[in-house]
Structure 1
Amino acid sequence: MLENIQFANPQCFWLLLLLPLAIIWYILKRKKAAAPLKISTTQGFKTHASLLPKLKPVLFVFRLLAIALLITAMARPQTLDVTSRTSMTRGIDIVMALDFSSSMLAKDLKPNRLTALKEVVAEFIKNRPNDRIGLVAYAGESYTPIPVTSDKPLVLNTLKSLDFETLRDGTAIGMGLATAVNRLKDSKAESKVIILLTDGVNNTGVIEPLTATELAKEYGIKTYTIGLGTNGMAMTPIAYNPDGSFRYGMQKVEIDEKLLQDIARETGGRYFRATDNKKLEEIYEEINQLETTEIEEFKYYNYDEKFRPLVILAGALLFLELLLRYTVFRSFV
């Protein structure tokens, strides 16, 4: 309990240096208080020894203790209880529009693009505890498997369950971006962000990417774009085997980087290119740093003053000294 005590005016303890001076003064005064008397014999003065004269210094001890207690009270001993409350002053709503076309099974990332992406996105979600996050999946069409929510376990479980077979094959970048904009346009958050990832070129969909870009600009939604895939050739699904599995072959990686750059520039975001697993991780880490959530922390300090018992005890000691001085020790002072 004592380790929680602090003093508001610790400089008052310098006054304790006066106590040794008071003790020295008392000793000197006590020696001078008794006048010498020379007589031939003390036989006629013999009487029973009394204990009271020997106890007389107790009065001075009481006074010293009272002074020490008053000095300690002046130093204001107190305990401090600190409580804090955090307030999110700049919340961010984020929608991640992810390409789930069959080309995301290409093996230029390990074990493939889709699995690598899921792992990195899951880590990104875990690192955004104070933001709301939603998912948009697109290929030849797009849909919202989960809208923006603060329920991170639900988002993570939904991401884990998504697969390329959910949607008709193709790459509808415009549809994916437009769906993400639709998820955020009514958001009340001060900052709204889309992270759009693709590994190809826009080849289907009823909404053009630039039209979706204009919508994002109109609603003040910043868009980060990511092109996923190595430079050159990659082992990519090219056909189905008789058993329904994919047949792989080397194909040239084609990403419409100009389109992705235009989308990012027009909406105030940035374009990134991920050519391997490490680069993909670095990109999401950089976006995590770029889009920070400001947290305002309020601290409340509750001081509990502890000087009152000391003052009461000092007063009791002074009263006891006076009482004894004018009663029990009256004839000896």
Structure 2
Amino acid sequence: MIEFTYPQCFILLFAPIIIYLIAPTYKEKRSSVQVPYFEQLVDITGEKPQLGAVVLTRKNIQKLLLVLAWFCLVVAMAKPEMIGAAVTQQKSARDLMIAVDLSGSMDVEDFYLPNQGGNQTNSVDRLTAVKQVLREFVSQRENDRLGLILFGDAPYLQAPFTNDLDTWLTLLNDTQVGMAGQSTAFGDAIGLSISVFGHHDTQNRVLIVLTDGNDTASKVPPVEAAKVAAASDIKIYTIAIGDPAAADEEKVDLAVLQSIADITGGKSFQAIDTKALENVYTEINQLEPELFESQTFRPRTSIHFIPIALFLSLYLISLLIVTFRFPRKIKETR
């Protein structure tokens, strides 16, 4: 299908007719040659002197080519475009932020990775286990925009929302325990996520927080930050990492994590090993299925060069006709 960007240009098709009707006829004056013995010349030739004019005319084929050439120019000015078949694109309708605790207690080796037989015998630190399971989780969220917040003494935005999952995973793999400090600023991490979400107009917003200790460094208590998040339509899933029987700063405040999830409409989980952590992500996948926004458009390709090329072809043909085959006819009128 062909559409014209500037269809109003077709009114120019009538311009030659209007000019022909209202413009005065073109006249050309030339100097004459004075003959000294004009009367004797008339007597010898037997011709009688008369008044006259010379009118230049075109062959019909020339007139046709001229009309076609003007039509091509007008069509080119109207800018024809070829409209392709409808194309539907789907993009994510969700911003998914993942906040990872990098406090000193994430270095405790109390997670066990399954070996080839399925038995969990290889112990690793908590952060390594989180990274490994997150890689699998992220591979299943390829249509979501993912962000990454790291927090310790303070929260930091490691990766803004992006569809580039390879880069996201690279930034996650480069993290180390303690690089954000030894304490746990859980509430401030929620506050930073609220700020990041505020710069995006996506309505479906999800925050997943992985932490293994009490909040010890936040300026805003986690529950208060969760209330602000709920007002911003942010759903929070909290995941307690490590042994729930730990003490002091390594103790997980399960009551606070549950309150945060309840306030925002999310859910709270406990993960004491990699298998439990995998089950958590599987459940989150079921609770938060991928959402899409569809956009349909038709590709448009300009083809204005075609009538221009046709015009040039007609011009060359007309020039050849005039030069080699149809010399101008001169009609004398009296």
Settle same-fold status: TM greater than 0.5: yes
Shift of 1:214: 1.7
Partner of 2:260: 263
Is residue 214–residue 249 contact of structure 2 (8 Å, CA) maintained in 1?
no
Q: Return the alpha-carbon distance in structure 2 between the equivalents of residues 102 and 138 of structure 1.
A: 11
Partner of 2:186: 173
Shift of 1:261: 0.4
Aligned pair count? Answer: 202
Q: Secondary structure at the match of 1:165?
A: coil
1:203-252 Cα distance to aligned partner (Å, 9 max, x none): 11212212211220111000000111124359xxxxxxxxxxxxxxxx89
Is residue 232–residue 253 contact of structure 1 (8 Å, CA) maintained in 2?
no
Describe how 1:1-333 pairs up with structure 2 within 5 A: 85-88=88-91, 91-109=93-111, 110-232=123-245, 254-295=251-292
Q: Return the alpha-carbon distance in structure 2 between the equivalents of residues 295 and 140 of structure 1.
A: 36
Is residue 84–residue 297 contact of structure 1 (8 Å, CA) maintained in 2?
no
Q: Return the alpha-carbon distance in structure 2 between the equivalents of residues 297 and 221 of structure 1.
A: 23
**What is the TM-score with the length of structure 2 in the denominator?**
0.56
Q: Return the alpha-carbon distance in structure 1 between the equivalents of residues 271 and 128 of structure 2.
A: 14
Partner of 2:37: none
Partner of 1:68: none
Q: Flag the 1:296–1:231 CA change in 2: closer, same or farther, 3 A.
A: closer
Is residue 95–residue 206 contact of structure 2 (8 Å, CA) maintained in 1?
yes
Shift of 1:282: 0.8
- 120-129 or 268-277: bigger deviation: 120-129
Q: Return the alpha-carbon distance in structure 1 between the equivalents of residues 162 and 251 of structure 2.
A: 34
1:90-125 Cα distance to aligned partner (Å, 9 max, x none): 611011011001100111113111000011112211
Is residue 105–residue 250 contact of structure 2 (8 Å, CA) maintained in 1?
no
In structure 2, stretches of 5+ residues that fail to align are 1-84, 112-122, 297-334
Q: Flag the 1:157–1:210 CA change in 2: closer, same or farther, 3 A.
A: same
Q: Flag the 1:295–1:203 CA change in 2: closer, same or farther, 3 A.
A: closer
Q: Return the alpha-carbon distance in structure 1 between the equivalents of residues 100 and 293 of structure 2.
A: 32
Q: Return the alpha-carbon distance in structure 1 between the equivalents of residues 295 and 163 of structure 2.
A: 22
Is residue 148–residue 157 contact of structure 2 (8 Å, CA) maintained in 1?
yes
Letter of the structure 2 residue corresponding to residue 191 of structure 1:
N
Q: Return the alpha-carbon distance in structure 2 between the equivalents of residues 177 and 296 of structure 1.
A: 27
Q: Return the alpha-carbon distance in structure 2 between the equivalents of residues 257 and 166 of structure 1.
A: 25
* Percent of aligned pairs with the same amino acid: 34
Shift of 1:278: 0.3
Shift of 1:130: 0.8
Q: Return the alpha-carbon distance in structure 1 between the equivalents of residues 185 and 165 of structure 2.
A: 27
Q: Secondary structure at the match of 1:187?
A: coil
